[in-house]
């Protein structure tokens, strides 16, 4: 069924197509229409699931974890303050090896209050053990919900997955979206059937106390699982492509990178704008490519290293900032490139915080700048793009 | 996988913690099962109604001795039994 | 074989790592005797998160999932939903948390679970402090008690604030069943648990759970103290069944000093302090009896509004 829908509805239709069995969620702008839609699906009987109207995001995640341990496919959605309130239980979810899928509508953190697009909330969860998929379009949101379940639930992974859609830019903007046939989805994504679950007649304790002699071993296994997810993501995407005819470029979605001399690295909806800018500049004979971080966890280290061998400059756009360091995409990318003998010039551009538009013009300026600094081969400080002064001296 | 515990806690020989030991005078025992009822560790087995202390697990708390209405359980030093 | 007054079947193995004389061990033991095998339990951070032992040790004959300290109410809602989806409606879901995990950090999630009428039994084992972290005060620590964060010194003697009335809090949610139980009265305990098992909605059990190290007492006194709590009426046994309160054991009305004097945590109290406590207990018990005699419906217990 091809229809026009927002990113939030794409999430909801994704969870419905995946036949999520337990949904626990708490409202927050701009996520609300996801849970409203799902509540509607459940109450009308279109989706056979339990909807738990929890009293907080912390409880939403805690309920999902226990439901998942009991053997249910679970879904939740949140944003910014809700996501950061969950921080403790996000770690619990990965430690419990619960393949929960969650949409985070990525939004700025207060203060200053802002309900608009910003990746701070998502980036701050990078150490929680969740896979993180940044989406560029509403279609990708829906498709990634389905793929994420399949990756998360595979026996070699068993880790939760976060689908990230940018506040308002995707969440509230309508685009044509193809809702896949249910029968095809059911074949692609069979019922969740975990090896172990909380079960009468099997008296076991899930998540018990471990001494220092074995704690590391359990963490090591989780690390291995996250590493396995790299292959699994590619395999699942290939299977998805064969079934539904769409794919998104694996962990690092490269666009016009073959002959590029410089590339722009960006995640989320700004990648769409970057594509246009890259096209326009190539028209003008500027050899520039786009590398979209589709996953931040696992981080596409190999892909970035291979790309870095071919270019002389990389512009990394971060829609968040790690105070005392730099943008997280930038620092992680630099870390990945460290083993290379020869490295391109890498510069960090902080842009689009709190919902500020990342326009084609901004991206073109960034590309011009990276060409310039990479020619000069200079060391560079992170640049806060088009940051202004405030007209209150005491601010 | 998350750590999933599947082995009965009888693997923990908590009897090693004990410093005093409940000594049962079987003659005096009225077979009321009160000691069994109040044992926090389910470490008392009733054999024909008479308590048998499971040595591997009795932590020596002394509740059985305190609760026995016939006063037939005495807490003695570990060595003295 | 003599006849036992509570079910003989054990659902807890020996070898739990609770302290000698731990009341919380008995709370679990009696609870499972009442509920039986078709039970799943969620336990947050508390002494009981440690008591099953180090991996791979498990001391219960029923499945158990651990959850975050403040999350028990949410966890039981999740388990219930998942079991319902599997058609396992007859399984009893239990949230089993300490007093701190219930009346303090976990109160929000519990309130949520009660309001959304999660079909589960929530048990608060009340040792009246944060014991697992080393005897710090909680909202359930009674007035007058010593804890490590209510130290007894010249300026300020002990905990100056009264214990939160968790039964009143839960009653205000209009839940179908709430009861107090004590490990000193296992028959009453098991009976109430059975009753709780057979109603739907969120049922609440408040279990007094003496803690020898935390209460600064001889471990052999656990049952004696638990019984004295009822006999002195500092911890009356009652239930609120469909909004109607009934006292299930009146207790002998012994002076509270008998209860307090067994515990080092009250050792600093003066006779005046004890008299004050006695006054409060008498007034509270009188009110409880008056309400029980009226047999009237709790204003919170309504079917709709
Ligand atoms: C979020 C969080 N804060 C603090 C703790 C530390 N903590 C673990 S158990 C505990 C005390 C538990 O007290 P209670 O619920 O009364 O159970 P008890 O240990 O007394 O049985 C605390 C403070 C924690 N695990 N999680
Ligand atoms: S500290 Fe108290 S409640 Fe905790 S295990 Fe020991 S006796 Fe039991
Ligand atoms: Mg406590």
* Residue A379 in this model has a pLDDT that exceeds 90: no
> Using CA atoms, how far apart are residues C225 and C184, in angstroms rounded to an integer?
8
* Structural domain ending residue among the three candidates A226, A244, A262: A244
Please state whether A201 falls in left (phi above 0), alpha (psi between -120 and 50) or beta. Answer: left
Q: Which residues contact B7 (CB under 8 A, 6 or more apart)?
A: C56, C57, C58
Ligand 1: distance of its center to the CA of C46 in Å?
A: 5
User: CB–CB of B38 and C224 under 8 A?
Assistant: no
Asked if the structure places residue A390 within a domain, the reply is no
Phi, psi dihedral angles at A370 (to 5 degrees): -70, -35
Q: Which two tokens stand for residue A223?
A: 């690390």
Tell me: the pLDDT tens digits for C12-67? 999 999 999 999 999 999 999 999 999 999 999 999 999 999 999 999 999 999 99
* Average predicted confidence (pLDDT) for chain A: 97
- Residue A77 and residue A40 share a domain: yes
Q: What is the H or E stretch that residue A163 is in?
A: strand A161-166
> Using CA atoms, how far apart are residues C203 and C193, in angstroms rounded to an integer?
9
- Residue A114 and residue A96 share a domain: yes
Cα of C226 to nearest chain B Cα, Å: 11
In order along its 81 residues, chain B shows pLDDT tens digits of: 899 999 999 999 999 999 999 999 999 999 999 999 999 999 999 999 999 999 999 999 999 999 999 999 999 997 766
* A209 in C contact zone (CB under 8 Å): yes
For ligand 2, whether the C-beta of C183 sits within 6 Å is: no
User: CB–CB of A218 and B3 under 8 A?
Assistant: yes
Ion ligand 3 neighbours (CB, 5 A) are: C 98-99, 127, 131
Q: Which two tokens stand for residue A258?
A: 């073959």
Range of the domain at A299: 252-384
* A57 in C contact zone (CB under 8 Å): no
Would you tell me how many other CB atoms lie within 10 Å of the CB of residue A43?
A: 10
**ipTM for this prediction:** 0.97
Range of the domain at B31: 18-77
For ligand 2, whether the C-beta of C60 sits within 6 Å is: no
Tell me: the pLDDT tens digits for A59-94? 999 999 999 999 999 999 999 999 999 999 999 999
Contact between A49 and A42 (Cβ < 8 Å): yes
> Using CA atoms, how far apart are residues A182 and A150, in angstroms rounded to an integer?
15
Residue-level pLDDT at C216: 98
Name the class of domain C23-304: alpha beta
* Structural domain ending residue among the three candidates A244, A268, A294: A244
> Using CA atoms, how far apart are residues A9 and A36, in angstroms rounded to an integer?
10
Asked if the structure places residue A369 within a domain, the reply is yes
Rg (CA), chain B: 14
Q: Please identify among residues 237-276 of chain C the ones whose CB lies closer than 8 Å to any CB of chain B.
A: none
> Using CA atoms, how far apart are residues B77 and B22, in angstroms rounded to an integer?
9
Nearest to B2 among A203, A207, A214 (CB): A207
Output the CA torsion sign for C73, C34, C22, C184. Answer: positive
Tell me: the pLDDT tens digits for C183-203? 999 999 999 999 999 999 999
Cα of C220 to nearest chain A Cα, Å: 28
Output the CA torsion sign for A35, A38, A43, A48. Answer: negative
For ligand 1, whether the C-beta of C209 sits within 6 Å is: no
> Using CA atoms, how far apart are residues C59 and C112, in angstroms rounded to an integer?
30
Q: How many CA atoms lie within 13 A of C86 on its CB side?
A: 23
> For the domain that residue B29 is a member of, what is the CATH number?
3.30.70.20
Q: What is the mean pLDDT of residues A28-39?
A: 98
Q: How far is CA A315 from CA A167, A240, A277, A307, A362, in A?
A: 23, 31, 13, 13, 12
* Structural domain ending residue among the three candidates A244, A267, A294: A244
> Using CA atoms, how far apart are residues A99 and A89, in angstroms rounded to an integer?
13
Peptide bond between residue C56 and the one before it cis (omega within 30 degrees of 0) = yes
Number of domains present in the structure of chain B: 1
- Residue A125 and residue A66 share a domain: yes
Asked if the structure places residue B10 within a domain, the reply is no
Residue-by-residue DSSP string for C194-249? HHHHTS-SEEEEEEE---HHHHT--GGGHHHHHHHHHHTTSS-EEEEETTEEEEEE
> Using CA atoms, how far apart are residues A74 and C75, in angstroms rounded to an integer?
13
Of all ligands present, the nearest one to the C-alpha of C128 is 3
For ligand 2, whether the C-beta of C24 sits within 6 Å is: yes
* A96 in B contact zone (CB under 8 Å): yes
- Residue A148 and residue A120 share a domain: yes
Confidence of residue A393 (pLDDT cuts 50, 70, 90): confident
Residue-level pLDDT at C1: 47
Helix axes A138-153, A212-244, angle to 10 degrees: 130
* Residue C305 in this model has a pLDDT that exceeds 60: no
User: CB–CB of A56 and C64 under 8 A?
Assistant: no
Q: Which two tokens stand for residue C191?
A: 């009976």
Tell me: the pLDDT tens digits for C212-255? 999 999 999 999 999 999 999 999 999 999 999 999 999 999 99
* C13 in B contact zone (CB under 8 Å): yes
Instruction: Search chain B and give the residue with CA nearest A201.
Output: B6
- Residue A319 and residue A237 share a domain: no
Ligand 1: distance of its center to the CA of C95 in Å?
A: 15
* Residue C2 in this model has a pLDDT that exceeds 60: no
User: CB–CB of B14 and C220 under 8 A?
Assistant: no
Ligand 1: distance of its center to the CA of C145 in Å?
A: 19
User: CB–CB of A53 and C116 under 8 A?
Assistant: yes
Q: Which of A220-229, A337-346, C94-103, C293-302 is the least confident region?
A: C293-302
- Residue A178 and residue A45 share a domain: yes
Q: Alpha helix locations (H) across chain A?
A: 7-17, 32-44, 57-69, 80-85, 87-95, 120-123, 138-153, 182-188, 212-244, 270-283, 301-310, 328-337, 360-376
Residue-by-residue DSSP string for A13-48? HHHHHTT-SEEE----TTTHHHHHHHHHHHHHTSS-
Asked if the structure places residue B23 within a domain, the reply is yes
Asked if the structure places residue B2 within a domain, the reply is no
Instruction: Search chain A and give the residue with CA nearest B5.
Output: A205
* A275 in B contact zone (CB under 8 Å): no
For ligand 1, whether the C-beta of C41 sits within 6 Å is: no
> Using CA atoms, how far apart are residues A37 and A103, in angstroms rounded to an integer?
14
Ligand 1: distance of its center to the CA of C101 in Å?
A: 6
- For the sheet containing A288-293, what is the strand order? A252-255, A288-293, A262-266, A313-318, A345-350, A383-384
Q: If we measure between CA atoms, which residue out of B18, B24, B21 comes closest to residue B59?
A: B18
Contact between B53 and B42 (Cβ < 8 Å): no
Asked if the structure places residue A389 within a domain, the reply is no
Asked if the structure places residue A240 within a domain, the reply is yes
Residue-level pLDDT at C300: 82
For ligand 1, whether the C-beta of C99 sits within 6 Å is: yes
Q: If we measure between CA atoms, which residue out of C32, C37, C82, C60 comes closest to residue C196?
A: C32
Please state whether A119 falls in left (phi above 0), alpha (psi between -120 and 50) or beta. Answer: alpha
Nearest to A89 among C56, C71, C91 (CB): C71
Of all ligands present, the nearest one to the C-alpha of C25 is 2
Q: What is the mean pLDDT of residues A160-183?
A: 98
Tell me: the pLDDT tens digits for C107-144? 999 999 999 999 999 999 999 999 999 999 999 999 99
Characterize the bridge pairing of strands A175-178 and A161-166: unpaired
SS (H, E, C) B3-72: CEECEEHHHCCHHHHCCEEEEECCCCCCCCCHHHHHCCCCCEEEECCEEEECCCCCCCCCHHHHHCCCCC
**Residue C69 DSSP label:** T
> Using CA atoms, how far apart are residues A53 and A156, in angstroms rounded to an integer?
32
Residue-by-residue DSSP string for A73-90? -EEEEE-HHHHHHTHHHH
* B49 in C contact zone (CB under 8 Å): yes
Ligand 1: distance of its center to the CA of C258 in Å?
A: 30
| Interface probe, candidates A206, A216, A220, A223, chain B, greatest B C-beta count within 10 A | A206
User: CB–CB of A67 and C74 under 8 A?
Assistant: no
Ligand 3: distance of its center to the CA of A30 in Å?
A: 39
> For the domain that residue A311 is a member of, what is the CATH number?
3.40.50.920
Number of domains present in the structure of chain A: 2
Q: What is the mean pLDDT of residues A357-386?
A: 94
> Using CA atoms, how far apart are residues A317 and A334, in angstroms rounded to an integer?
13
- Residue A15 and residue A142 share a domain: yes
- Residue A256 and residue A187 share a domain: no
User: CB–CB of A62 and C76 under 8 A?
Assistant: no
Q: Which two tokens stand for residue C182?
A: 């004590």
* C226 in B contact zone (CB under 8 Å): no
3-state helix, strand, coil in chain C (%, to 5): 35, 20, 45
Domain ranges in chain C are 23-304
Residue-level pLDDT at B5: 97
Phi, psi dihedral angles at A252 (to 5 degrees): -125, 115
- Residue A227 and residue A111 share a domain: yes
- Residue A257 and residue A239 share a domain: no
Buried b (16+ CB within 10 A) or exposed e, C22-39: bbbbbbbbbbbbbbbeeb
Q: How many CA atoms lie within 13 A of A174 on its CB side?
A: 4
Nearest to B9 among C15, C23, C183 (CB): C15
Tell me: the pLDDT tens digits for A293-350? 999 999 999 999 999 999 999 999 999 999 999 999 999 999 999 999 999 999 999 9
């Amino acid at each position: 069924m091809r229809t026009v829908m927002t990113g939030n509805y794409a999430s909801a239709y994704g969870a419905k197509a995946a036949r999520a069995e337990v949904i626990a969620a708490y409202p927050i702008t701009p996520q609300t229409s996801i849970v409203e839609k799902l509540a509607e699906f459940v109450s009308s009987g279109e989706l056979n699931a339990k909807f738990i109207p929890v009293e907080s995001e912390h409880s939403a995640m805690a309920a999902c974890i226990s439901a998942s341990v009991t053997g249910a496919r679970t879904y939740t959605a949140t944003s910014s303050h809700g996501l950061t309130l969950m921080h403790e239980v996000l770690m619990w979810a990965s430690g419990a090896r619960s393949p929960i899928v969650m949409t985070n509508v990525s939004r700025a953190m207060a203060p200053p209050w802002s309900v608009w697009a910003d990746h701070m909330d998502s980036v701050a969860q990078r150490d929680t053990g969740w896979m993180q998929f940044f989406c560029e379009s509403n279609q990708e949101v829906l498709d990634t919900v389905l793929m994420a379940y399949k990756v998360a639930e595979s026996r070699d992974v068993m880790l939760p997955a976060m689908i990230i859609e940018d506040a308002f830019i995707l969440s509230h903007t309508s685009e044509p979206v193809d809702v896949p046939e249910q029968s095809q989805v059911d074949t692609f994504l069979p019922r969740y059937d975990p090896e172990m679950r909380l079960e009468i007649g099997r008296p076991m304790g899930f998540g018990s106390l471990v001494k220092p002699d074995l704690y590391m071993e359990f963490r090591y296994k989780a690390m291995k699982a996250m590493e396995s997810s790299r292959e699994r993501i590619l395999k699942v995407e290939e299977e998805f492509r064969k079934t539904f005819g769409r794919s998104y470029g694996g962990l690092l979605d490269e666009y016009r990178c073959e002959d590029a001399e410089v590339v722009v690295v960006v995640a989320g909806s700004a990648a769409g704008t970057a594509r246009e800018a890259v096209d326009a500049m190539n028209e003008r004979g500027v050899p520039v490519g786009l590398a979209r971080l589709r996953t931040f966890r696992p981080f596409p280290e190999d892909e970035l290293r291979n790309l870095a061998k071919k270019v002389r400059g990389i512009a990394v756009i971060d829609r968040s900032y790690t105070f005392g360091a730099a943008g997280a995409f930038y620092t992680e990318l630099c870390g990945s490139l460290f083993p290379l003998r020869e490295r391109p010039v890498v510069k960090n551009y902080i842009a689009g915080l709190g919902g500020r538009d990342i326009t084609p013009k901004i991206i073109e300026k960034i590309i011009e700048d990276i060409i310039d600094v990479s020619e000069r081969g200079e060391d560079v400080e992170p640049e806060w793009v088009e940051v202004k002064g405030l007209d209150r001296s005491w601010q | 996988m998350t750590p999933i515990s599947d082995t009965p806690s009888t693997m923990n020989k908590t009897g090693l913690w004990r410093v005093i030991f409940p000594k049962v005078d079987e003659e005096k025992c009225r077979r009321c099962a009160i000691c069994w009822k109040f044992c926090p560790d389910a470490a008392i087995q009733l054999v024909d109604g008479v308590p048998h202390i499971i040595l591997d697990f009795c932590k020596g708390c002394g509740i059985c001795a305190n609760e026995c209405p016939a006063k037939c359980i005495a807490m003695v030093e570990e060595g003295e039994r | 074989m003599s006849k036992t007054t509570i079910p003989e079947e054990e659902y807890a193995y020996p070898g739990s790592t609770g302290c000698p004389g731990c009341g919380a061990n008995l709370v679990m033991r009696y609870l499972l005797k009442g509920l039986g095998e078709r039970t799943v339990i969620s336990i947050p951070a508390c002494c009981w998160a440690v008591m099953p032992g180090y991996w791979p040790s498990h001391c219960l004959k029923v499945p158990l999932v651990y959850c975050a300290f403040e999350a028990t109410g949410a966890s039981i809602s999740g388990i219930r939903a998942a079991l319902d989806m599997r058609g396992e409606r007859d399984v009893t879901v239990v949230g089993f948390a300490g007093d701190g995990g219930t009346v303090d950090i976990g109160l929000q999630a519990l309130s949520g679970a009660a309001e959304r009428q999660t079909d589960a039994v929530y048990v608060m084992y009340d040792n009246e402090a944060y014991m697992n972290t080393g005897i710090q005060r909680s909202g359930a620590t009674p007035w007058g008690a010593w804890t490590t964060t209510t130290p007894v010194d010249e300026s300020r003697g002990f905990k100056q604030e009264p214990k939160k009335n968790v039964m009143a809090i839960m009653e205000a949610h209009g839940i179908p069943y709430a009861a107090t139980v004590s490990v000193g009265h296992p028959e009453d305990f098991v009976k109430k648990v059975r009753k709780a098992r057979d109603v739907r909605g969120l049922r609440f059990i408040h279990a007094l759970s003496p803690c020898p190290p935390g209460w600064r007492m001889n471990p052999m006194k656990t049952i004696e103290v638990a019984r004295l709590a009822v006999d002195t009426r500092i911890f009356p046994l009652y239930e609120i069944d469909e909004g109607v309160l009934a006292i299930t054991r009146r207790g002998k009305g012994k002076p509270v000093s008998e209860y307090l004097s067994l515990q080092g945590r009250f050792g600093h109290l003066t006779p005046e302090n004890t008299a004050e406590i006695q006054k409060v207990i008498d007034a509270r018990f009188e009110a409880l009896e008056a309400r029980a005699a009226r047999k009237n419906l709790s204003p919170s217990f309504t079917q709709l509004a």
